[in-house]
């Protein structure tokens, strides 16, 4: 028998304010047509003034608990991925823990930017398989609107705010690729690419939060090359191939990156979960948001094989293969 981490519930929250591409036409030299055709993004949600990453995460966590039919008493811990924390410390996860009324178990943050949810998921899976916990709430939550340079048309049109969550639960499997739960994963970082995507401020450097800087076309090239590679690596580890995949749930940064990755994996677009048009790039929140939206629509059937992948600042990138 093998201990596996099975997704028991998903949930998400998006701030009320929706901003269409056309809103940027009044602020910058850009067009709805450019944004749509170069990225696939049509609109995004922005947090209200005073609304923090933890506010979004608490709502997403509650939604996941509700869908799973669980309460915080059932959880052993919270692992939360974000690059836009409420405060330098404590961890957003502990603020969420308190907000959910949970006073036991562990709660900490993981920071791997747009790959953050994959890193958090793999981290939680490792803890479950090691017997450290039976049920973990894994959240990706961001307020990237707080670190935008609103004069930079190459970045500020791309990002949005939101939060998504999943609950992982330990279940016994046979140790084969037919098991439910996370079957394999692959994580990578290469800090020599720091200049491609970073925030130009921080606690121990400028003492400010800073703003996002990106060489988009270079990140684009790395994404197209590295995402299909990591997905294949995870599939390989699980003893599976692209032909076994029912759903690709990619990081939602750019429709053209997603299409290229699906093509390289030999997957038709009907097998790809797409939320980029409505959410924009929500960094660590994008994958759990996509999982929760598709789950809410009843698209994933028990036994189906999902591959999820993401890349972001660091650069850091990775993937996971799981059976629903
Ligand atoms: O989630 C973390 C990972 N991040 C990503 O995966 C993002 C990866 N990168 C991308 O998605 C794309 O590179 C972008 C959408 C950011 C840009 O698309 P691109 O096809 O790589 O365009 P580019 O950066 O090469 O720029 C092409 C042109 C430039 O004009 P010139 O130099 O050719 O005259 C830009 O100045 O498009 C211009 N441009 C814009 N024009 C209108 C850049 N942003 C805009 C804009 N509106 N918003």
Q: Where are the alpha helices (DSSP H) in the chain?
A: 22-25, 32-39, 53-68, 92-99, 116-129, 216-237, 255-264, 276-279, 286-296
Backbone angles phi, psi at 104, to 5 degrees: -130, 175
Buried b (16+ CB within 10 A) or exposed e, 285-301: bbbbbbbbbbbeeeebe
Range list for CATH 3.40.47.10 in the chain:
2-173, 181-323
Ligand 1 pocket: which of 26, 31, 154, 250 to mutate (most atoms within 8 A of CB): 154
Per-position pLDDT tens, the chain of length 324: 899 999 999 999 999 999 999 999 989 999 999 999 999 999 999 999 999 999 999 999 999 999 999 999 999 999 999 999 999 999 999 999 999 999 999 999 999 999 999 999 999 999 999 999 999 999 999 999 999 999 999 999 999 999 999 999 999 999 999 999 999 999 999 999 999 999 999 999 999 999 999 999 999 999 999 999 999 999 999 999 999 999 999 999 999 999 999 999 999 999 999 999 999 999 999 999 999 999 999 999 999 999 999 999 999 999 999 999
Cβ of 220 below 6 Å from ligand 1: yes
Cβ of 30 below 6 Å from ligand 1: yes
* CATH top-level class of 2-173: alpha beta
Task: Report the C-alpha gap between 263 and 122 in whole angstroms.
Answer: 25
pLDDT value for 2: 95
Task: Report the C-alpha gap between 96 and 136 in whole angstroms.
Answer: 13
Provide the β-strand partners of residue 308. Answer: 249, 320
pLDDT value for 1: 87
pLDDT value for 237: 98
Q: Which CATH architecture has domain 181-323?
A: 3-Layer(aba) Sandwich (3.40)
Token pair belonging to 254: 């750019």
- Rounded to the nearest whole angstrom, what is the distance from the C-alpha of residue 303 to the centroid of ligand 1? 39
Q: Which residues are catalytic?
A: 114, 251, 281
Cβ of 254 below 6 Å from ligand 1: yes
To the question of pTM greater than 0.95 for the whole model, the response is yes
Cβ of 153 below 6 Å from ligand 1: yes
């Amino acid at each position: 028998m093998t201990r596996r981490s099975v997704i028991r519930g998903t949930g998400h929250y998006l701030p009320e304010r929706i901003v269409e591409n056309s809103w940027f036409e009044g602020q910058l030299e850009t067009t709805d047509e450019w944004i749509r055709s170069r990225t696939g993004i049509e609109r995004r949600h922005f947090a209200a003034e005073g609304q923090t990453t933890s506010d979004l995460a608490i709502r997403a966590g509650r939604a996941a608990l509700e869908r799973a039919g669980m309460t915080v008493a059932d959880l052993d811990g919270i692992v939360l991925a974000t690059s836009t924390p409420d405060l330098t410390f404590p961890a957003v996860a502990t603020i969420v823990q308190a907000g959910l009324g949970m006073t036991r178990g562990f709660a900490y943050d993981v920071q791997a930017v747009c790959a953050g949810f994959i890193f958090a998921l793999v981290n939680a899976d490792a803890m479950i398989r090691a017997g450290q916990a039976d049920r973990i709430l894994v959240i990706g939550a961001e307020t990237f609107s707080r670190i935008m340079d609103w004069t930079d048309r190459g970045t500020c049109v791309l990002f949005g705010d939101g939060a998504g969550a999943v609950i992982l639960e330990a279940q016994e499997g046979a140790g084969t690729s037919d098991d439910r739960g996370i079957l394999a994963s692959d994580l990578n970082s290469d800090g020599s690419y720091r200049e491609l995507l970073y925030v130009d401020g921080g606690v121990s450097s400028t003492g400010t939060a800073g703003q996002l800087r990106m060489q988009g076309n270079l990140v684009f090239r790395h994404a197209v090359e590295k995402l299909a590679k990591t997905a294949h690596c995870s599939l390989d580890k699980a003893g599976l191939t692209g032909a076994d995949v029912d759903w690709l749930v990619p990081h939602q940064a750019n429709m053209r990156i997603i299409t290229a990755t699906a093509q390289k994996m030999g997957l038709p677009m009907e097998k790809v979960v797409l939320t980029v048009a409505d959410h924009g790039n929500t960094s660590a929140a994008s994958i759990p948001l996509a999982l929760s939206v598709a789950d809410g629509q009843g698209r994933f059937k028990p036994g189906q094989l999902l591959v999820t992948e993401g890349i972001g600042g660091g650069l850091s990138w990775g993937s996971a293969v799981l059976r629903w």
